[in-house]
C-alpha cells in the first residue's frame, strides 16, 4: 500500500484547512496551490465543477472537495484521509481556544489583525472570481442564466436551494431531446 | 449516552444543512434548546470564534459545540459525525460521475449549472465583502452606508489585490501581510 500518497493527501488538506480563513470561495487559492500546482491532482476547471456540485449537496465545500480529490487519487480511503486532513486543524485549534483562551477574540490586537486579514482574504477572492467567471460564462445564453440567478438571489431574495433545483430542471428540459434518444 | 446523542444529532446536521457552514446555525440553535448543552448567548460567542478561526466554519462550530458538551472526545465525535454524510454522498457521486465523465449530455447539463453556481458564489462574495470591507449590500440605506465607510479597509483591500496581481507568492504570504497591516493601522 502506497503510504506516501495517503500521507501527502493528509498533509496537503491539513494545510488547506489551516491556511483558509472564511470558507467557500476563499479556499480556492489554497486549493489551486496545493491540488493543482503542487500535486497535479486536478485541474482548476475540475475544482470549479466540484464547487458546483457542492452547492447542491450537504457538507462544507472543503470536505466535499477533499472527498472528491482523495477519492480520485486513492479511492474511498483516500477520500476519508483527505477529509480527516482538512478538519484536523479546526478540531485542534478550536479545542485549544475553547479550553484555554476562549476570549481570544476580545483582545483588540486580535480584532485588528482579523480586520486587516478579512480585507486581504476578500482581495484574494477576486482572481478566483475571475477564473470562475471565465469557466462559467461562455456565451450570451449562459450570461443570461447568470444574471437571472443573480437577480433572483439578490433582489427577489429567493432561497438558493430553489434556484439550484430550478436550474437543474431547466437544464434537463433544455436537453430533453437528447436524453429521450 | 451523550456520545451517541452527539453522533446522531451531528450526523443529522451534516445531512440536512446544504450550502455551507452557516446553514448549520439554525440547527445548532435548536440543539441548544433541546438538550440545554449551551445557551443561545453561548452559541453566538461560538459563532464569532468559529468565523474568525481558520478552517471551515461548519467544522469549527461542530468542534466547539462538541467540546462544550463533552470535552475533546465530544469535539472529535461531533466533527466526524457532521462530515460523515458528506463523505458518503460525495463518494457515491464521485463513483457515478466517473461513469459519466465522457457522457455528452452530462457535460451539457453542467454548462447550464455553472452560471447558476457562479451567481451563488458572487452572492457569497458580496456578503463577505460587505462584512469585511464595505457594506455594499446595504446600499439602499444611503446614510448608514456613508457612515460606515472606512477608507483603511478599502485601502488594504485594493493594496493586497494589486500586490497579488504583481507577485506570485503563496496565498499565506498575502494573508500574513494583511494581518500585520491590520495590527499596525488599527
At B10-44, the pLDDT tens digits run 999 999 988 777 888 899 999 999 999 999 988 98
Give the CA diameter of chain B: 56
Residue with cell 446522531: B8
Q: What DSSP designation does B24 have? A: G
| Sign (positive or negative) of CA dihedral B35, B46, A58, A72 | negative
Phi then psi for B39, rounded to 5 degrees? -90, 170
Q: Is A86 on the interface with B (CB under 8 A)?
A: yes
* A55 at B interface, C-beta within 8 A: yes
- What is residue A102's DSSP assignment? T
- Give B110 to chain A, closest Cα distance, Å: 8
Which of B115, B131, B160 has the CB atom closest to A136's CB atom? B115
Q: Which residue has the higher pLDDT, A53 or A85?
A: A85
Q: Look at residue B7 in the predicted model and tell me its pLDDT.
A: 96
Cα–Cα nearest to B95, from A99, A88, A67: A67
Task: Identify whether the C-beta of residue A48 lies closer than 8 Å to the C-beta of residue A134.
Answer: no
**Cα distances (Å, whole numbers) of residue B75 to A98, B111, B125:** 10, 40, 30
Among B92, B25, B18, CA closest to A165: B18
Residues 22-41 of B with CB under 8 A from A: none
Q: Residues A83, A91: contact at Cβ < 8 Å?
A: no
C-alpha A103 chain-centroid distance: 29
Phi-psi region of A20 (alpha: psi -120 to 50; beta: other; left: phi over 0): beta
User: Is the pLDDT confidence value at B175 over 60?
Assistant: yes
Residues paired with B18 in a beta bridge: A58
Per-residue model confidence (pLDDT) at position A29: 87
pLDDT mean across residues, chain B: 89
pLDDT reported for residue A17? 93
Chain B hits for A22, CB-CB cut-off 8 Å, are 51, 57, 128
Could you read off the pLDDT of B81-127 as tens digits, one per residue?
A: 999 999 999 999 988 877 766 667 677 778 888 899 899 889 989 98
The mean per-residue pLDDT over the stretch B63-79 comes to 94
Q: Cβ(B60)–Cβ(A56) under 8 Å?
A: no
Cα-Cα-Cα-Cα dihedral of B16, B21, B26, B30, to 10°? 80
CB atoms within 10 A of CB B177: 18
Quick one: CA dihedral A170, A171, A172, A178, positive or negative?
Answer: positive
Chain centroid offset of residue B16 CA: 16
Q: Write down the pLDDT at residue B75.
A: 96
What pLDDT digit, counting tens, does each position of A126-142 carry?
Answer: 998 998 899 889 999 99
Is the pLDDT confidence value at B142 over 90? no
**Best to test chain B binding among A16, A63, A153 (most B CBs inside 10 Å):** A63
Whether A125 and B128 lie within 8 Å, measured CB to CB: yes
Whole-structure pTM value: 0.88
The two most distant CA atoms of chain A are separated, in Å, by 65
Residues A75, A85: Cα–Cα separation, whole Å: 15
Q: Taking CB atoms and an 8 Å cutoff, what residues of chain A touch B91?
A: 67, 71, 76, 79
Which residues 100-129 on chain B approach chain A with CB closer than 8 angstroms? 104-105, 108-126, 128-129
Of A68, A86, A114, the CB nearest to B182: A114
Check B128 against A22: CB less than 8 A apart: yes
CA distances to A19, A60, A118, B119, B156 from B113, in Å: 29, 19, 29, 10, 34
The answer to whether residue A77 neighbours chain B at the CB level (below 8 Å) is: no
Residues above pLDDT 90, as percent of chain A: 54
Determine the Cα–Cα distance for residues B74 and A132; give it in Å rounded to an integer: 38
- pLDDT tier for residue A2 given thresholds of 50, 70 and 90: low
How many whole angstroms separate alpha carbon B101 and alpha carbon B105? 10
Q: What's the pLDDT band for A179 if we cut at 50, 70, 90?
A: low
List pLDDT tens digits, range A5-57.
Answer: 899 999 999 999 999 887 778 888 899 889 998 999 998 888 888 888 887 78
Amino acid at each position: 500500500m502506497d503510504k506516501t500518497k495517503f500521507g501527502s493527501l493528509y498533509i496537503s488538506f491539513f494545510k488547506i484547512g489551516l491556511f483558509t480563513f472564511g470558507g467557500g470561495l476563499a479556499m480556492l487559492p489554497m486549493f489551486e496551490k496545493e491540488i493543482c500546482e503542487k500535486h497535479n491532482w486536478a485541474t482548476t476547471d475540475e475544482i470549479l465543477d466540484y464547487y458546483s456540485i457542492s452547492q447542491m449537496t450537504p457538507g462544507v465545500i472543503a470536505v466535499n472537495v477533499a472527498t472528491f480529490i482523495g477519492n480520485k487519487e486513492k479511492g474511498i480511503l483516500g477520500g476519508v484521509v483527505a477529509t480527516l486532513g482538512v478538519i484536523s486543524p479546526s478540531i485542534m485549534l478550536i479545542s485549544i481556544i475553547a479550553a484555554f483562551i476562549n476570549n481570544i477574540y476580545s483582545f483588540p490586537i486580535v480584532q485588528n489583525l482579523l480586520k486587516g486579514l478579512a480585507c486581504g482574504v476578500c482581495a484574494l477572492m477576486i482572481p478566483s472570481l475571475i477564473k470562475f467567471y471565465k469557466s462559467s460564462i461562455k456565451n450570451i445564453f449562459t450570461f443570461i442564466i447568470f444574471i437571472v440567478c443573480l437577480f433572483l438571489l439578490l433582489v427577489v431574495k429567493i432561497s438558493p436551494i430553489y434556484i439550484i433545483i430550478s436550474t437543474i430542471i431547466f437544464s434537463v428540459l433544455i436537453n430533453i431531446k437528447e436524453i429521450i434518444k | 449516552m451523550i456520545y451517541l446523542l452527539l453522533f446522531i444529532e451531528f450526523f443529522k446536521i451534516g445531512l440536512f444543512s446544504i450550502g455551507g457552514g452557516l446553514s448549520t446555525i439554525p440547527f445548532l440553535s435548536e440543539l441548544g434548546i433541546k438538550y440545554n448543552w449551551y445557551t443561545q448567548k453561548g452559541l453566538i460567542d461560538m459563532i464569532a470564534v468559529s468565523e474568525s478561526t481558520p478552517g471551515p466554519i461548519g467544522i469549527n462550530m461542530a468542534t466547539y459545540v462538541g467540546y462544550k458538551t463533552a470535552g475533546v472526545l465530544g469535539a472529535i465525535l461531533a466533527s466526524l459525525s457532521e462530515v460523515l454524510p458528506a463523505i458518503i454522498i460525495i463518494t457515491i457521486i464521485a463513483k457515478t460521475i466517473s461513469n459519466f465523465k465522457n457522457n455528452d449530455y452530462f457535460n451539457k447539463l453542467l454548462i447550464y449549472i455553472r452560471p447558476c453556481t457562479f451567481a451563488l458564489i458572487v452572492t457569497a462574495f458580496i456578503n463577505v465583502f460587505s462584512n469585511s470591507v464595505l457594506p455594499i449590500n446595504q446600499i439602499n440605506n444611503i446614510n448608514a452606508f456613508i457612515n460606515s465607510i472606512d477608507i483603511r479597509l478599502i485601502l488594504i483591500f485594493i493594496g493586497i489585490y494589486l500586490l497579488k496581481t504583481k507577485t506570485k507568492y503563496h496565498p499565506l504570504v498575502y494573508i500574513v501581510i494583511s494581518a500585520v497591516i491590520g495590527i499596525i493601522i488599527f
